[in-house]
Amino acid sequence: MFSDAQLAGVWVSAMDSGAEQPFTFTDAVTFRVDCDTPVQAEMLRRELGLDGAGLDRFGVRWEPVLTDG
């Protein structure tokens, strides 16, 4: 699977391997997402289904952060 998107003017690509891998996600990687308002941050948490620690259903950690904007 391959996907790409433009985020804040930067192209970001993601792909996986078709083969089974002997690892999972760890706390070594957190996706930080800048949010302009508390409502936007809460919407992101809800849409990603984040638990209190910021983990989604795949074990990926997300950090919605309020910006000064």
Half-sphere exposure of 25 (CA within 13 A, CB side): 13
The answer to whether residue 54 is domain-embedded is: yes
Give the separation between CA 24 and CA 60, rounded to whole angstroms: 9
Q: What is the DSSP letter of 11?
A: E
Partners of 64 in the β-ladder: 33
Whether residue 11 is contained in a domain is answered as no
Residue 7 falls inside a structural domain = no
Q: Domain residues for 54?
A: 29-66
Cα–Cα distance for residue pair 45/32, rounded to 1 Å: 12
Nearest Cα residue to 30 out of 46, 5, 50: 50
Poorest-pLDDT segment among 12-16, 28-32, 37-41, 63-67: 12-16
pTM of the model: 0.61
Residue 10 falls within a domain, yes or no?
Answer: no
Residue 38 binned pLDDT confidence (cut-offs 50, 70, 90): very high
